[in-house]
Amino acid sequence: MAGVEIRHLSKRFAQLNAVDDVDLSIREGEFLVLLGPSGCGKTTLLRMIAGLERPTAGEIFIGGERMDDAPPRARGIAMVFQSYALYPHRTVARNISFPLEAHGLERAAIDEKVRWAAEMFGITRYLDRYPRQLSGGERQRVALCRALVRDPKVFLLDEPLANLDAKLRNMARDELKRFQRQVKRTVVYVTHDQVEAMGLGDRIVVMDRGKVRQVGTPHEVYEDPVDTFVATFLGQPPMNLVELQGALLGFRPEHFLPVAHFGANEALRTFPLSVRRVEYLGSDRYVYGSVGGAGATVIAKLPATVATEIAEGSDMEFAVPERALCYFDAATGARQRR
Amino acid sequence: MLLRRRHGGTATTVKRSLADRENVLGVALLAPALAYVLLLVGVPFVLAIVLSFSTATAGSLSFGWAGFANYSVILRDPIFRRALANTAIVTIGSQVLVVVLATAAAQVFRAAFHGKRTARFVLLLPWAVPVSLAAIAWTWIFDSTFSVINWTLKVTGLLHGWLYWLGEPGLALVAIIIVQAWRIFPFATVIVLAGLASLPQDVMEAAIVDGAGFWRRLFQVELPLLLPVVSVAVLFGVVYTATDLSVVYILTGGGPANMTQVLPTLAFQRGVLGADLGQGAAIAVFLLPFLIVVAVAMLRLARRTEIGAR
């Protein structure tokens, strides 16, 4: 087991700072998720840890050893690609054995390890098939298997669930997390999907334009965002931002409910909401409207348990509990503690 | 057919152009290729088979049924059997050389280096030069007195005797193989380069992360994935080489003593120069099963190793 230390790491592509002076300390055995919109540098950061990309500046330590000049095979890492990158001309068994062959293991030892890994992922009966004969979920397991047999110190996963259909994704997420708990290895996981990030990560690193915006547990980055980028990137729908006396007031749609819904002794901030449209989504209702006259669109997310009648075009009193309010600097977007 | 369309208050008529009529367009676009295949491939092909069963001679319009007489004559002819074997030797030999050289050259040309564009231009030259001109140049390179190859080998001390390239049957075949390989090699290199560019990048990176070195990546990942592309190059190479008349005709003329005849040169010699059209056609027809087998084998190979569907 080993953690990963990243110091002042930068990667420049021509005019673009893909990764811009990133410091990051990944703990041993931790499931760390790099989250951000496309182009934020999360994949470049992962590829630098893997050794597929050479940093422009900075240092990478894996298990305490300086690794930013070492070739990928010397780093003790394994990587799972978004497309799984299986060898199409090799059977499942020969895919899984490839890193072991490259490592010069004996045939008997290789067979034993392949069998062990295949059993762990329940793919023993596919061993003689070719990747093209497998479904997306099965291919993903083969890719994980191939990563596992190398017994790496760190697993690097690049959007491994992105190519699965939505139905499979929940299952695969659960499987992935159980797998990590079982092997107790450090995992660095790249995704742009906040649901995956929140569900899988011990900690989440939110990135934007090459820089780390916030590092924290899913709870911390969701409830306690450091700026408007993190606040609006996480959450579905995103946090509402309302300009008020030179500051930005932020509140999550699920905290924004009709006044009648709250208890009498709760400290509330009330807003008159001009309801423009109501969206019925089964488990929730989204109410679109504006507060304070010409203000920006805000969204209220009402769970099905809130039965209050809401008519489009009407004006209603909505409220947010004081404890759920966040204040941001209107100019910089940085969080203001009050 | 006319379509009426209102446009800014005035009615404009839009004529349906040829490009809108897919059934007509399809036939129109296919017609030149179809005509080419039928007139320049189909007709001569059928004619060759018909002639091979006839007693036809050049210069006369008489046509007599000969049955398998032409075939039984050539099958008993040692020169024909020599030509058949030579065709196989030259084709296989040159294509093996081409595959090795093209793969190596593609690796070189993949790397970035100074003067790459010029080098690529030079690489492609043999392909652009007319075969007959190139073959004439090669006769000088292999000349019994002035051979630059011999001269170079002598100067570097690698050769002590003297090589009569086109004068000894064995060496003459080697010379033919070299020229044929030289001719196809640029084309094959370009195809392999295109294949390399289309390899899935993440699979190559997976191999790097999995700890495979250069040779393991080359032989266990890259080349197997390139196999369909390489087999296409070989397929073209085989067809070009097996059916080529000019290189052997100019280089050795089939000599010495008919020892370097290949099927096309022998067919030309017997059928056109010797005026025995029937026998010439029968010789040429022997190319056919050879090429069909190769084509089927290559296409099957290509399908079997097709890069897996994603």
pLDDT tens digit sequence for A225-236: 999 999 999 998
* pLDDT of res. B9: 46
- Return the SS3 of A165: coil
The answer, for B303 touching chain A at a CB cutoff of 8 Å, is no
* pLDDT of res. A47: 94
Distance from C-alpha of A327 to C-alpha of A242, rounded to nearest angstrom: 10
Which token pair is A36? 């951000």
Contact criterion met (CB < 8 Å) for A88 and B212? no
- Alpha-carbon Rg of chain B, whole angstroms? 26
- Which chain B residue's Cα is nearest to A140? B310
Which token pair is A62? 């894996």
Contact criterion met (CB < 8 Å) for B310 and A85? no
- Which chain A residue's Cα is nearest to B200? A85
Overall residue count recorded for chain A in this entry:
338
- Return the SS3 of A91: coil
The answer, for A135 touching chain B at a CB cutoff of 8 Å, is no
The answer, for A160 touching chain B at a CB cutoff of 8 Å, is no
* pLDDT of res. B62: 72
The answer, for A51 touching chain B at a CB cutoff of 8 Å, is yes
Strand partners, B6: B11
Contact criterion met (CB < 8 Å) for A146 and B210? yes
Which token pair is A95? 């895919």
The answer, for B305 touching chain A at a CB cutoff of 8 Å, is yes
The answer, for B202 touching chain A at a CB cutoff of 8 Å, is yes
Q: How far is A63 from chain B (nearest CA, A)?
A: 18
Q: What is the pLDDT along chain B (310 residues), one digit of tens a residue?
A: 444 544 444 455 677 777 778 888 888 899 999 999 999 888 988 888 888 888 877 777 677 787 888 888 888 889 989 999 999 999 999 999 999 999 999 888 888 788 888 888 888 888 888 888 888 888 888 887 777 888 888 888 777 777 778 878 888 899 899 999 999 899 899 889 888 888 888 999 999 999 888 899 989 999 888 888 888 888 888 888 888 888 889 888 877 888 888 888 888 988 888 878 888 888 888 888 778 877 787 777 767 665 443 3
Distance from C-alpha of B95 to C-alpha of B103, rounded to nearest angstrom: 12
Distance from C-alpha of A235 to C-alpha of A221, rounded to nearest angstrom: 10
Distance from C-alpha of A50 to C-alpha of A154, rounded to nearest angstrom: 9
* pLDDT of res. A220: 94
The answer, for A53 touching chain B at a CB cutoff of 8 Å, is no
* pLDDT of res. B309: 36
Contact criterion met (CB < 8 Å) for B211 and A83? no
Strand partners, A258: A318
The answer, for A100 touching chain B at a CB cutoff of 8 Å, is no
The answer, for B220 touching chain A at a CB cutoff of 8 Å, is yes
* pLDDT of res. B291: 81
Contact criterion met (CB < 8 Å) for B212 and A102? yes
Are A224 and A230 in contact, with CB atoms under 8 Å apart?
Answer: no
The answer, for A153 touching chain B at a CB cutoff of 8 Å, is no
pLDDT tens digit sequence for A107-125: 999 999 999 999 888 889 9
Alpha-carbon distances of B11 from B4, B6, B7, B8, rounded to whole Å: 7, 5, 6, 8
pLDDT tens digit sequence for A49-100: 999 999 999 999 998 899 988 999 899 999 999 999 999 989 999 999 999 9
User: What is the β-pairing status of strands A257-258 and A315-321?
Assistant: antiparallel
Distance from C-alpha of B243 to C-alpha of B262, rounded to nearest angstrom: 9
Q: Which residues of B touch A88 (CB under 8 A)?
A: 203, 225, 307-308
Would the ipTM clear 0.85, i.e. be above it?
Answer: no
Contact criterion met (CB < 8 Å) for B307 and A131? no
Q: Which residues of A touch B216 (CB under 8 A)?
A: 101-102
Contact criterion met (CB < 8 Å) for A130 and B200? no
Q: Which of A52, A98, A102 sits opposite B205 (nearest CB)?
A: A52
The answer, for A116 touching chain B at a CB cutoff of 8 Å, is no
pLDDT tens digit sequence for A294-331: 577 899 999 988 888 888 888 999 999 999 999 999 88
The answer, for B198 touching chain A at a CB cutoff of 8 Å, is no
Computed over every residue of chain A, the mean pLDDT equals 90
* pLDDT of res. B13: 66
- Return the SS3 of B63: coil
Distance from C-alpha of A170 to C-alpha of B210, rounded to nearest angstrom: 28
Which token pair is A35? 């989250």
Residue to substitute from B205, B209, B229, interface A, most A β-carbons within 10 A: B209
* pLDDT of res. B306: 57
Q: What is the pTM of this model?
A: 0.77
Q: Is the backbone peptide bond immediately before B126 cis, with ω within 30 degrees of 0?
A: no
Q: Which residues of A touch B227 (CB under 8 A)?
A: 89
Contact criterion met (CB < 8 Å) for B208 and A83? no
Has residue A187 got a pLDDT over 90? yes
B 64-103 → A contacts, CB under 8 A? none
* pLDDT of res. B307: 47
Are B163 and B150 in contact, with CB atoms under 8 Å apart?
Answer: yes
Residue to substitute from A82, A98, A101, interface B, most B β-carbons within 10 A: A98
Distance from C-alpha of B210 to C-alpha of A4, rounded to nearest angstrom: 19
